[in-house]
Amino acid sequence: MKRHLLSTADLSRDDAVLILDTAEEIARLAARPIKKLPTLRGRTVVNLFFEDSTRTRTSFEVAAKRLSADVINFSAKGSSVSKGESLKDTALTLEAMGADAVVVRHSASGAAYRLATAGWSSSHVVNAGDGTHEHPTQALLDAFTMRRHLGGFEERRVTVVGDVLHSRVARSNVHLLATLGARVTLAAPPTLLPVGVESWPCDVSYDLDAAIPGSDAIMMLRVQRERMNGGFFPTQREYSRRYGLDAQRMAKLPDKAIVMHPGPMVRGMEISAAVADSDRSVIVEQVANGVSVRMAVLYLLLSGSESAIGSDEGQAQNQHQNTEPKGAAA
């Protein structure tokens, strides 16, 4: 893997498969009574969040702690950032404290790249969401969930529905799933598709009903009103009627198709309560898989090798030696 995880577009197929295979091994070990591993003992991971977050920040915190890393949670509210401190000065402060990895979420697209390449810090940088640009670990956990249910990605059809314009999750998923061999369709009203979407490695449809029958997985996106400064559709009711997933639409999916959502959901708008709580929904499973995937990312970035967790004996000694895990090879 590269030194930082900033975008799924930077990942080769081998990189992506390595992360997914390592996450699978970690998930298997996490099923044991004692979940904590000594792999990153003595390392410090900083969660640097300039935007509100529940799932992602908590998931990264749990992931780092299960690998025995020391975790520092930093939020913009109540910090020097609220007094006007810049990203550069915050990065220099964290560098002085000896952070080994910085997990950053920021409202500005490109903030993670700036932090990684400006020379302010020698830490590994993981992009936990930058503006409307990318959210690579969300796409990785989505792919991990799909692989568990669908078996693979070749010729699988994934439909991503909703507010693509403001969605960093959609961008990351399109790049990653295309790299892994899946066929992606974006279904959204024209006003919620970004300029230049025709250059993305995916198909585009304005008709959700036409895309549903051939979908192996359907991913619903939340309408991000907090990022909107105009009228992108007439009413919530109209949007839900055209692009919401209800029980009637779900019934048209193939038998083994799954329903996904990166969260948080707005029940009754992009997805009905009946669909969100149905047997086809893997939304809660996505959250659980996020911990394993983020453990894999932190491990591979900070361990300095492609070996993962190893045997029981190896776990007790892995500060001194590396062992090759089952399924960690690309």
Dist. CA 53–CA 34, nearest whole Å: 27
Helix intervals (H) in the chain:
13-30, 55-66, 87-96, 111-117, 136-150, 168-180, 208-211, 236-243, 247-250, 273-276, 283-303, 312-317
Residue 135 known to bind ligand:
yes
Query: Has 56 been annotated as catalytic?
Result: yes
Query: Has 256 been annotated as catalytic?
Result: no
Catalytic residue among 106, 124, 133, 135: 135
Residue 56 known to bind ligand:
yes
Task: Kindly give the pairing relationship between strand 217-220 and strand 258-260.
Answer: parallel
Dist. CA 90–CA 110, nearest whole Å: 16
Query: Has 105 been annotated as catalytic?
Result: yes
**Tokens (6 digits) for 102:** 């910085």
Residue 261 known to bind ligand:
no
Residue 161: strand pairing partners: 187, 220
Catalytic residue among 32, 77, 83, 320: 83
Residue 183 known to bind ligand:
no
Q: Which of 178, 154, 168, 152 lies closest to 21 in space, CA to CA?
A: 152
Query: Has 242 been annotated as catalytic?
Result: no
198 C-beta neighbours (distance < 10 Å), count:
9
Separation of CA 220 from chain center: 14
120 C-beta neighbours (distance < 10 Å), count:
18
Residue 249 known to bind ligand:
no
Catalytic residue among 66, 105, 124, 133: 105
Three-state SS across 43-70?
A: CEEEEEECCCCCHHHHHHHHHHHHCCCE
Residue 159 known to bind ligand:
no
Catalytic residue among 55, 65, 88, 149: 55
Query: Has 175 been annotated as catalytic?
Result: no
Residue 106 known to bind ligand:
no
Which residues make Cβ contacts (< 8 Å) with residue 296, sequence separation at least 6? 19, 20, 22, 23, 26, 308
Is residue 247 within 8 Å of residue 268, measured between CB atoms? Answer: no
Catalytic residue among 22, 39, 44, 56: 56
Q: Which of 83, 105, 80 lies closest to 93 in space, CA to CA?
A: 80
Sequence ranges of the binding site = 55-56, 83, 105, 135, 138, 168, 222, 263-264
Sequence ranges of the binding site for L-aspartate = 83, 168, 222
Sequence ranges of the binding site for carbamoyl phosphate = 55-56, 105, 135, 138, 263-264
Catalytic residues: 55-56, 83, 105, 135
